[in-house]
Amino acid sequence: MVLNQLLQYDDIVIQIHDNPDADAVGSGYAIYQFLKEHGKQVRLVYGGRYPISKNNMVMFIRELEIPVEYVTELAKPQLLVTVDCQYGEGNVQTFEAEHIAMIDHHNTGKMSDDMSEIRSHLVSCATICYAMLRDEGYDINANNKVATALYYGLFMDSNQLSEISHPYDKDMIELLQFDRDLINRLKYANLSIVDFETAGFAILSKKYNEQYRYALIKVKECDPNLLGVIGDFALQVDCIDVGVAYCEYPGGYKISVRSCLMEVAANELSSFLTEGIGDGGGHLDKAGGFISQYKFLEKYENMDIEEYFRKRMTEYYEEYEVVRFGEGMKDRENFKKYRKRANMFGFVKTTDLFEAGVECRVRTLEGDVFVTCAEDTYIMIGLEGEVYPIKKDTFEQRYRVSEEAYDKVFDYSPSVIKLGTNTLVKLLPMAKACMSKPGAMIWAKPVDIHTKVFTRWNYETYMNAKPGDMICYSMQDENDVYVVQRSNFAMIYEEVV
């Protein structure tokens, strides 16, 4: 769904979930403003048992003059848009409407369609609204209140930005012109005195695992922001390397993961703990996640959530191997010979983006890449949409320019920004096609257990090989070890017999 589809309606109500949090209010308000500015008759409402009372929420709404209304009944509108929630779910009071649309980031199993935009891999609904408004060409910064509202939504749903994971989140942090003073004041009105006590009880009943040095902390139903605070605190303890705090939350469980170990990336552990039943992600040291109640029940039936976490943590620690690039491959059995296939890639000459000498940043799903524009510097777009710079002579050794048009589409389209400015250029429309020449030979085999591979190219963290994924090393340089996902391997490599 795109936002301008909503413009075919005139009488519109935006509904956010009961007990609204900052993300719900901020996201709902941004969509409200978009529709209002298009001349629509629109209201922003929520139902449920209680009106908003939390201090920071009251202040947020008052200071930005957000016209959000608490309602117990609603005259049937032509269009009802649920934001940061999904129509019919337990945390949204049901009101009748002629048409329903949804914008949400919670994972309930529902997929996007004509009238709903569900992106459960994103940390906040504000992120989705930001992306959708940007796609409409809507100038968010023209309205400081909208920019601030979206920023605060992201801020709160990502545990004060510590659990952000997507390029859009980073764009928001850098590009939104928000009210810093208000955000600072809100930041220190984050927890209530009850939250403070809740943290104390949670810490007293923590489960500590001596062997693996992690703490599992069950917190009474609370503001999810408290989880990050508790997780950060736990990591300060000398014998705790990893902290997992979790609580019940409408529709499931929220989790917060903290790690100070290079061998245990918080974002990877979080996605392990939520695998198949939710979503998790974030940074190497701080990450968050959500487990959907119904998916949990479907998969684990009557298992107690605490038991689940203990079992999964044990599985995690007991079942992985580490491979480090400098040490070579110790076990060389069962490796087979492969060669890179000829495939279509995209490339952009950096001087087609900006003049030579300009420094720019390419924002990708894997992280930011910095490039100085020069005649001999190109940007490659890989088979999965990954982006990396390449020198012209290396390019010419490995690829030949193709006459075909480059028309690949990926879930996320990387953008390039000229450093020091707000000038964004979309990379994919600028790309031309090239074909890879038959490549060098490698050894590869599927792994049996979760393997963490520290490659030469990324010192900060490891690549993950799940069972079935291929661990590879170059024939010319056996220290050049890396991982290729099972689903991509056959597309990239062919066996040499």
> Which residues would be at the binding site for Mn ion (CB under 5 A)?
23, 84, 125, 157
Sheet holding 441-446, edge to edge: 481-484, 470-474, 441-446, 336-340, 493-495
Of 4, 23, 69, the closest CA to residue 43 belongs to: 69
Of 357, 411, 358, the closest CA to residue 385 belongs to: 411
* Chain centroid to CA 377: 30
Task: Copy the structure tokens of residue 290.
Answer: 């959500």
Map tokens 């719900």 to a residue: 24
Between residues 119 and 283, which has the closer beta carbon with respect to Mn ion?
119
Q: Cβ 487 to Mn ion, closest distance in Å?
A: 30
Of 57, 53, 54, the closest CA to residue 23 belongs to: 57
Q: Per DSSP, what are the bridge partners of residue 209?
A: 214
Distance, CA of 283 to CA of 280 (rounded, Å):
10
* Cβ atoms of 480 and 473 closer than 8 Å: yes
Q: How far is CA 254 from CA 220, 228, 271, 289, in A?
A: 11, 10, 12, 6
Between residues 256 and 451, which has the closer beta carbon with respect to Mn ion?
256
Contacts of 185 (CB under 8 A, 6+ apart): 59
Distance, CA of 430 to CA of 434 (rounded, Å):
13
User: Any idea what DSSP says for residue 380?
Assistant: E
Between residues 127 and 198, which has the closer beta carbon with respect to Mn ion?
127
Q: Cβ 27 to Mn ion, closest distance in Å?
A: 7
Q: Cβ 106 to Mn ion, closest distance in Å?
A: 7
| 261, burial (CB in 10 Å: exposed 0-12, middle 13-18, buried 19+) | middle
Phi, psi of 449 (to 5 degrees): -130, 160
Q: Cβ 123 to Mn ion, closest distance in Å?
A: 8
Between residues 125 and 150, which has the closer beta carbon with respect to Mn ion?
125
Contacts of 377 (CB under 8 A, 6+ apart): 349, 350, 371, 389, 390, 391, 392
> Cα(first)–Cα(last) distance of the chain, in Å?
48
Q: Cβ 172 to Mn ion, closest distance in Å?
A: 14
Of 316, 274, 290, 2, the closest CA to residue 134 belongs to: 2
Q: Cβ 238 to Mn ion, closest distance in Å?
A: 35
Between residues 80 and 128, which has the closer beta carbon with respect to Mn ion?
128
Between residues 77 and 224, which has the closer beta carbon with respect to Mn ion?
224
The amino acid that residue 323 corresponds to is V
Q: Cβ 84 to Mn ion, closest distance in Å?
A: 5
Q: Which residue is nearest to Mn ion (CB)?
A: 23
Q: Per DSSP, what are the bridge partners of residue 472?
A: 444, 482
Task: Copy the structure tokens of residue 211.
Answer: 């062997």
Between residues 74 and 125, which has the closer beta carbon with respect to Mn ion?
125
Between residues 250 and 439, which has the closer beta carbon with respect to Mn ion?
250
Between residues 84 and 117, which has the closer beta carbon with respect to Mn ion?
84
Q: Cβ 127 to Mn ion, closest distance in Å?
A: 9
Distance, CA of 86 to CA of 16 (rounded, Å):
9
Within 10 A of 329 (CB to CB), how many other CB atoms are there? 17
Q: Per DSSP, what are the bridge partners of residue 281?
A: 288
Q: Cβ 376 to Mn ion, closest distance in Å?
A: 45
Between residues 84 and 223, which has the closer beta carbon with respect to Mn ion?
84
Q: Cβ 105 to Mn ion, closest distance in Å?
A: 6
Task: Copy the structure tokens of residue 196.
Answer: 């403070």
Q: Cβ 23 to Mn ion, closest distance in Å?
A: 3
Between residues 33 and 120, which has the closer beta carbon with respect to Mn ion?
120
